[in-house]
Amino acid sequence: MNITTDRINIRELTLKDAPFLVELLNSNGFIENIGDRGIRTVKQAEEMILEKYIVNYPTHGLFIVVRRNDHTAIGSVSFLKRDFLAFEDIGYAFLPDYFGKGYAFEAASALVNYAKRKGLTALNGVVDFPNIASQNLLLKLGFKEDGVVVMDGEEEPIKKYTLIF
């Protein structure tokens, strides 16, 4: 996948992105809103990329969001099929320096459009209850609240959203 918008490129994750992934996964926003993945080293990030993401390309996985003007990696978007959800799950995470600048909406909108072009009929999104910013972003994209789910390996429920095309 390679998607271009006015300000960003969304591209496949590669092993070269491991240092960025360590930074993103250990940022306060990621840990508070998504969870601690326990990835602390570049080697661990490389293993995660190889084992969880590259095997699922080109249609699903974790993708890097890069600013077009300076080629800086600023975040990620994901497109994953989870067993406990009826539809593919759209996700996003950005470094704190890029919060509130519209990048998450731009990237998530592009991913929704990609899903439509691929012939999907719906998407899910899941968000922790305190993460109001992400809840509002999903609503802005047209998602509707659709109950709660418990993520694999977790105990607490989180909000589920659905977008029907």
Judge whether residue 83 has pLDDT over 90: no
Question: How many structural domains is the chain composed of?
Answer: 1
Q: Note the pLDDT of residue 153.
A: 79
Q: How confident is the model at residue 56 (pLDDT cuts 50, 70, 90)?
A: low
Give me the amino acid identity at 41: T
List the CATH number of the domain containing 150: 3.40.630.30
Higher pLDDT, 162 or 37: 162
Percent of the chain at pLDDT > 90 equals: 73
Judge whether residue 54 has pLDDT over 70: no
Q: For residue 118, what are the domain limits?
A: 2-164
- Mean pLDDT computed over every residue of the chain: 91
Distance CA 51, CA 98 (A): 28
